[in-house]
Structure 1
Amino acid sequence: MDERGRAHEPLREEEAVDVEWSGNWVAERLGVELAGDGEIRELLGLALRRNPKRAHLLVSNILGKHVPQRPSVVHGAGFELGERVRDLLGEAEARRAVVLGYAETATGLGHAVADGLGVATYLHSTRRPVAGVAQAGGFEEAHSHATSHLLLPEDPDLLDATAEGSPLVLVDDEFSTGNTVLNTVRALHARYPRDRYVIVALVDMRSEADQGRLAEFAEEIGARVDLVVRARGTVRLPDGVLEKGRSLVAAHEADDTAGEPPAPRSAPARVTLDWPAGVPDGGRHGFTPVHRAALEAALPAMAGSIADALGDARRVLVLGFEELMYAPLRLATALEDATTADVRYSTTTRSPVLAVDDPGYAIRSRLVFPAHDDPADGAGDRYAYNVAGAGFDAVVAVVDSTADTPALHAPDGLLARLAGHTDQVLLAVVPSYVPSPTADGPASPDPDTVRSPASQRQEDAMLPEPLRGPDFSSYAADDVGWLLQDLSDTPLEAPTEEREEAIQSGGAHYAESLPVEYQPSPQYQELFKAALDTSAARIARAVGTVTETVLAERGPRPVLVSLARAGTPVGVLMRRWAQHRHGLDLPHYAVSIVRGRGIDANALRWLAAHHDPADVVFVDGWTGKGAITRELAAALEDFGGFNPEIAVLADPGGCVRTYGTREDFLIPSACLNSTVSGLISRTVLRADLVGPHDFHGAKFYRELAGTDVSGLFLDTVAARFDEVADAVDAEAKELLAADRAPTWEGWAAVERISEEYGIHDVNLVKPGVGETTRVLLRRVPWKILAKRGAGADLDHVRLLAEQRGVPVEEVGELPYTCVGLIHPKYTRGATGADGTAVTEK
């Protein structure tokens, strides 16, 4: 029986290859054609997902993610690719290579490639933040179900290529457009430049239009870039395939009536693994040849323990867990060697795919269960495909200790779901690896340069004092202290199109320049004032609610630290609420945080020297997809005592637990730039302007004083405080008693929109009224998605879109009031750097 309560024959390997191709069901109904070399249909099947921009999904038969496969086949596929890379590089370069795999799908494949190289160190990206581990990099994978990747090597020099001839080998399961891999290389090359890269994939599915991009890219970065793949092919789509796909998915889902999942047949049991001490559970923090040798030596004994616990089981599935692919895979290969049982291997996943019970369809069944990671990076459902109804009489679920949580053992958890479809469920827990200092310990400091804690505190206290109005900003001196340096006399503005191209191409970071300040037309200024009058009470209520929540949970005298500049008007209003309602004179500072670069470390040091870090409450205006929320949490890992939670006025993205409202509505301070934010620009971080002992910079636009409405905004909202006081008291009391855990719904929506509209970069999707307004004011907008029926909250968006000639597309199902899409035409960037031409293998 599958999760829907239907019986079907066990999945057989020959059904996917010898008898019927597991893409026939989709191909026959949609007219999709999978063309390529002779192996392509053996490697790939087809499935469907709800997606207006791409109806089909390629499903690998040998990756070990969605389709259970013999573990020796899964590991052998990666190992053979690694051998080909070793032959390409030569023995000397292979020894210096670092292999980088992509989470979550290619973590096991990348590790197997490293095994094939034989002597390479392996690292994979991760979506699980780990406290105390410095981030060596990160990137976005726009087409993925979960897009944010972190690089967290234990050895901070792992990716450093200063040693001559240290190639980087990047491994993904599918090379489709090349956007993700090339964007990763571009970002890493800027930080860790090297002469040679090798891209490895099971299949190369690039279209003819994408074929030439690799050579152009190699020339752009001035390095050699090789491509090693097992098979090549392409997907040919007929006209109208998207409409047919939508109809087919909708019809199937409408006919699919899910009953209660089957009751467990038996209670899951634990099997103890004697995991070798000091060996990481995978490549999240790096996996060296020494680790590999220790694991190989321990595998037979661990497989023997599992075999003893399985008894007479004849058809066994070893089921890994999301990013934890390699450890379960190697346990499965060892079990395959140690027993005569028919052993298969696959893993759970966070990617939702339609299941159809047909031998010509790649995803025959699915099990659904709640996330059980701790913390679950993105709460919600998780999935195990082609397990239900597959005839397994035993399943060995392998997780790391961090994921061995109550949710795993809950009545609706993974173990219970598995027990409804097999007679025996074993749980094997691999200890989660916690990075620690090297065996030799930290390097001894130079006695001539070492500073005592007392001298460090004295130096931090001697950092510049905060800038205040009227010398810097039009806010009153006691409204906010800016932990910034004044760059008002420095030319920083660049034309919008030129700036956009530099940002998207990787040639410049957005914080290295400033957009030309938008000068509102008289019509737009009137629109702002009308919006302010209409929404002032609504904003006052949200200000009061978030302030009362902070006072109740973070103590009676918090130190407000707003994230400049969107958070600063909110910080000022929170300070005024505390003063008006409670007679509190709360300190308030504004600091800079930059996506991809972190928070201003010197500002944090100043705060720690003058206040108790535990009293600091970070404040922002609103959440979009939650990128800054994650950025702050990662940045504060190196600074003890600070609480990374952000308090925001509006949390439409569901990214924080302290908020005034989760509605996506017009906040008038988002309608303008500096003229509603104390005449301060957005913050600047550029190496030639910001030294190691400087605060980040910003400009004070004194010349715009005639159009400044910063005071008007504050005074209009504060005038409504008494009017909303009773409602605030009731709402704050209700919130304090409620479950306010972040849902990250906004992040999931952005992933879907990015994929549906073919943007391939979540940083170009700006959700919510505030972020959409920013797109229209200072980026190159492509189009605006507006929720059908949205009213006055979008009047200013429609006016700005009309002035800039940007289409507004009404959308029925949209979790935000609107979403701004930045024009993706600049993603290729400029060329011209000398480099070696691409060689494809």
Structure 2
Amino acid sequence: MPEDAPGRVKVDLPTGTLVLHDVAPERVANLCQFAARANPKRGFLIVSTVLGRHLPTPPQALRAAADALAAQLPGDLPEPVLFCGMAETATGLAQAVWAAWRARHPGAESAYVQSSRQTVTGARILCRFEEDHSHAASHMVQVSTEVEPMLAAAHSLVIVDDECSTGATFVEAAEALVAALPQIERVACASLTDWSAGAFLARMPRPASAHSLIAGTLEWTPGAGQVAAKLAPTANRHGTAPASGMRSRTGLLAPEAAIRAPITTAPAERVLVLGDGEHAYEALCIAEDIAAQGGVPALQSITRTPALLGHAMRSVATLADAYGSGATCHVYNLLAHDPARIVIAAEIEGGQAEALRGWLAEAGSDAVVELALCRYGEAP
């Protein structure tokens, strides 16, 4: 971990220079790696080691991070409490935070929704908002009739994201959700890392608090590599969720589990479980099933994130979006866990397994790839 002064971490990237201030370098080293993003809006990526997105993550590490965030949330939030996870990167984390909070507050009234970039046929769009710096900026929150009464009664809002740089995304999300649900009284913002120094809290539409595993400040100096970066024209397009897709996209009153074939593993078998974009929580559950059988699992995800190779990103496999958006998707560090087997937790079959088999063959790996089709609810 680069360090040039006490409480300061400096990272030189092809797109510019990142400096973190007021941090414990050893804490940053445990929870963060870094990469450059092919994004003219923001040229850096703080790569979490516990998120299960770009780096292979033991399932217990993600659960522990989620529980640590849940433990920080105020104990006096007025009920019902509405949790909202931010697509696509934080959806698995957010559901895990909600599950941890429910375990800490048995009997408390709560619900979960998440923003999405996949359209759900028949769902009502509760609100939309923009994440200005993102490669895929447009979010929508969709809801089903089942959760409407709980949403209409909610008095607290907990927004979960993987990172807070300036807090602008928290503000945009809170403003949109509070406009749709004006009875909300308080907001809590939870993220793995927070570099805002709380400056955004004064702009929130309701009294708000910020909670994170690491807090400090961030200084970014763009270089020529960021200026030259261009986003693909398909990066912000929406896809379509299948009818049998996860219900968390339109709201949950209790944690969900997929209907899928059981995953069995041999003792000590190394298995990488991949979520597919927003469909991340079931990958965590599959990884936990594998660990319970004595396997050695890690989880990651197929993602739209346009990162550059180097630093935390040692390899990249590229594939098409299974949801039909036309966006380019990636899996970074596919072999970092040294897996004998790769399980893709997918809502829809869209050629993911074939694409990864082709990449693995070129890389000289004999890892076996399989797709675990996950269905939800009563849809066939």
Which is greater in Rg? Answer: 1
Instruction: Check 1:128–1:50 CA distance in 2 against 1; reply closer, same or farther (3 A cut).
Output: closer
Distance 2:321 2:45 in 1: 23
1:355 aligns with 2:309: yes
In structure 2, the residue matched to 1:281 is: 246
1:55 positional shift: 3.1
AA in 1 matched with 2:215: R
Instruction: Check 1:111–1:314 CA distance in 2 against 1; reply closer, same or farther (3 A cut).
Output: same
1:187 aligns with 2:176: yes
Distance 1:54 1:229 in 2: 21
Instruction: Check 1:184–1:435 CA distance in 2 against 1; reply closer, same or farther (3 A cut).
Output: farther
Q: Is the 8 A contact 2:21 2:216 kept in 1?
A: yes
Mark the runs of 5 or more structure 2 residues left unpaired by the alignment: 3-8, 103-107, 231-243
Tell me which of 10, 16, 21 is aligned to 1:35.
21
2:120 alignment partner, SS class: coil
In structure 1, the residue matched to 2:299 is: 345
- Deviation string for 1:74-101 (max 9, x for gaps)? 122112212332xx133x83x5211000
AA in 1 matched with 2:288: T
In structure 1, the residue matched to 2:45 is: 57
Q: Is the 8 A contact 1:26 1:46 kept in 2?
A: no
Instruction: Check 1:382–1:390 CA distance in 2 against 1; reply closer, same or farther (3 A cut).
Output: same
1:344 positional shift: 0.7
AA in 2 matched with 1:172: D
Instruction: Check 1:212–1:281 CA distance in 2 against 1; reply closer, same or farther (3 A cut).
Output: closer
Distance 2:341 2:152 in 1: 49
Mark the runs of 5 or more structure 1 residues left unpaired by the alignment: 1-14, 17-22, 251-278, 437-841
Tell me which of 198, 201, 204 is aligned to 1:214.
201
1:64 positional shift: 0.8
Distance 1:28 1:428 in 2: 37
In structure 1, the residue matched to 2:237 is: none
Q: Is the 8 A contact 1:34 1:41 kept in 2?
A: no
In structure 2, the residue matched to 1:392 is: 339
Tell me which of 127, 144, 150 is aligned to 2:117.
127
In structure 1, the residue matched to 2:5 is: none
1:281 positional shift: 3.1
Q: Is the 8 A contact 1:318 1:398 kept in 2?
A: yes
In structure 2, the residue matched to 1:243 is: 224
Q: Is the 8 A contact 1:159 1:192 kept in 2?
A: no
AA in 1 matched with 2:213: R
Higher relative contact order (CA 8 A, sep 6+): 2
Q: Is the 8 A contact 1:281 1:327 kept in 2?
A: no
Q: Is the 8 A contact 2:276 2:303 kept in 1?
A: yes
Q: Is the 8 A contact 2:83 2:113 kept in 1?
A: yes
2:99 alignment partner, SS class: helix
In structure 2, the residue matched to 1:327 is: 282
Distance 1:62 1:201 in 2: 12
Cα RMSD, aligned residues only:
3.2
AA in 1 matched with 2:339: F
Q: Is the 8 A contact 1:26 1:47 kept in 2?
A: no
1:166 positional shift: 2.1
Q: Is the 8 A contact 1:155 1:286 kept in 2?
A: no
Distance 1:317 1:75 in 2: 17
- Deviation string for 1:189-241 (max 9, x for gaps)? 222111111111111112x6xx43312x24xx3x3212121111233345xx4
In structure 2, the residue matched to 1:234 is: 217
1:152 alignment partner, SS class: strand
Distance 2:225 2:91 in 1: 34
In structure 1, the residue matched to 2:316 is: 366
How do 1:132-171 and structure 2 match up within 5 A? 132-155=122-145, 158=148, 163=153, 166-171=155-160
1:388 positional shift: 3.7
Q: Is the 8 A contact 1:101 1:171 kept in 2?
A: yes
AA in 2 matched with 1:227: A
1:67 alignment partner, SS class: coil
2:119 alignment partner, SS class: coil
AA in 2 matched with 1:232: A
- The 10-residue stretch of structure 1 (315-324 or 31-40) with the greater mean CA deviation from structure 2: 31-40
Q: Is the 8 A contact 1:399 1:429 kept in 2?
A: yes
1:306 alignment partner, SS class: coil
AA in 2 matched with 1:32: L
The TM-score, its normalising length taken from structure 1, stands at: 0.38
Tell me which of 429, 454, 466 is aligned to 2:373.
429
1:142 positional shift: 1.8
Q: Is the 8 A contact 1:367 1:385 kept in 2?
A: yes
1:306 aligns with 2:263: yes
Matched residues, number:
350
AA in 1 matched with 2:62: V
In structure 2, the residue matched to 1:471 is: none
Percent identity reads: 27
- Deviation string for 1:421-448 (max 9, x for gaps)? 3421121110155789xxxxxxxxxxxx
Q: Is the 8 A contact 2:16 2:224 kept in 1?
A: no
Distance 2:223 2:149 in 1: 41
Instruction: Check 1:224–1:160 CA distance in 2 against 1; reply closer, same or farther (3 A cut).
Output: farther
How do 1:583-732 and structure 2 match up within 5 A? none
- Deviation string for 1:356-401 (max 9, x for gaps)? 2xxxx1111111112222xx12x0421000114652211111101x
Q: Is the 8 A contact 1:54 1:242 kept in 2?
A: no
Tell me which of 351, 355, 359 is aligned to 1:417.
359
2:30 alignment partner, SS class: helix
2:249 alignment partner, SS class: coil
1:246 positional shift: 6.0
2:12 alignment partner, SS class: helix
Instruction: Check 1:58–1:121 CA distance in 2 against 1; reply closer, same or farther (3 A cut).
Output: same
Instruction: Check 1:160–1:224 CA distance in 2 against 1; reply closer, same or farther (3 A cut).
Output: farther
1:162 positional shift: 5.1
1:135 alignment partner, SS class: strand
Which structure: greater strand fraction? Answer: 2
Distance 2:15 2:246 in 1: 43
Distance 1:28 1:140 in 2: 27
2:118 alignment partner, SS class: coil
In structure 1, the residue matched to 2:238 is: none
Distance 1:387 1:345 in 2: 10
Distance 2:192 2:11 in 1: 23
Q: Is the 8 A contact 2:345 2:372 kept in 1?
A: yes
Q: Is the 8 A contact 1:395 1:418 kept in 2?
A: no
Distance 2:263 2:268 in 1: 11
1:364 alignment partner, SS class: coil
Tell me which of 195, 202, 221 is aligned to 1:205.
195
Distance 2:269 2:353 in 1: 25
